[in-house]
């Protein structure tokens, strides 16, 4: 995400200030180090860290900032629109969280390839990305076959230490997110158990 936002902005001659999420500041710092080693002037690429109220809000309100590109929650995205209105009407580019559907019809050509794509979309980066394919919309006639293949395919996704090259799914970014995801899983289990017992 750092690269696809910062790279094009620098390439066309802009200076960039990056404010990473509090949970991922070290990776942003390392990307900046690599950029400096590659010859990007330090004055053209700055990384500021901290909580949103302390660093993100002042950037959003600063009249010398012409554009803000924000990836994150819809709630905070709305705040950046407000900051723009209260300052210099800077351009705001928002990429806010969503529930991206994966739609599968019965006339698919290669179910194994579709399953691989679905698993990658849903679980890449522990599913912690705004384009995560987190909902399945499947034609009823292939539902059972597809679910069976998804369950089988998921067995190949090793959970474990993120420094192990064999690991596909590492830890969640923070305890609060872990609890949120676990809550979704428990809720889904309750719904599944209820529908199975009544059907």
Please list the active-site residues.
95
Query: DSSP letter at 146?
Result: H
- What single-letter DSSP state applies at residue 141? G
CA 145 – CA 150 distance, rounded (Å) = 9
> Which tokens go with 128?
């912690």
Q: List CB contacts of 172: < 8 A, sequence separation 6 or more.
A: 126, 128, 178, 181
Q: Pick from 67, 62, 91: which is nearest to 9 by CA?
A: 67
Which tokens go with 122?
């849903």
Q: Which residues pair with 174 in a beta bridge?
A: none
Rounded distance between C-alpha atoms, residue 53 and residue 59, angstroms: 10
């Amino acid at each position: 995400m750092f690269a696809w936002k910062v790279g094009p902005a620098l390439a066309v001659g802009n200076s960039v200030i990056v404010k990473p999420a509090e949970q991922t500041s070290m990776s942003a710092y390392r990307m900046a180090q690599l950029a400096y080693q590659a010859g990007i002037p330090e004055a053209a690429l700055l990384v500021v860290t901290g909580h949103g109220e302390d660093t993100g809000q002042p950037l959003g309100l600063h009249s010398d900032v012409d554009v803000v590109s924000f990836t994150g929650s819809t709630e905070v995205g709305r705040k950046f629109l407000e900051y723009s209105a209260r300052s210099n009407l800077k351009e705001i580019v928002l990429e806010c969280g969503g529930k991206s559907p994966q739609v599968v019809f019965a006339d698919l050509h290669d179910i194994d390839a579709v399953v691989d794509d679905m698993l990658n979309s849903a679980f890449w980066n522990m599913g912690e990305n705004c384009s995560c394919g987190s909902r399945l919309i499947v034609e009823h006639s292939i539902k059972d076959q597809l679910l069976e293949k998804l369950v089988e395919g998921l067995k190949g996704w090793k959970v474990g230490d993120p420094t192990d090259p064999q690991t596909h799914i590492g830890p969640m970014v923070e305890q609060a997110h872990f609890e949120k995801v676990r809550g979704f899983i428990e809720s889904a289990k309750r719904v599944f158990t209820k529908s199975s017992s009544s059907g």
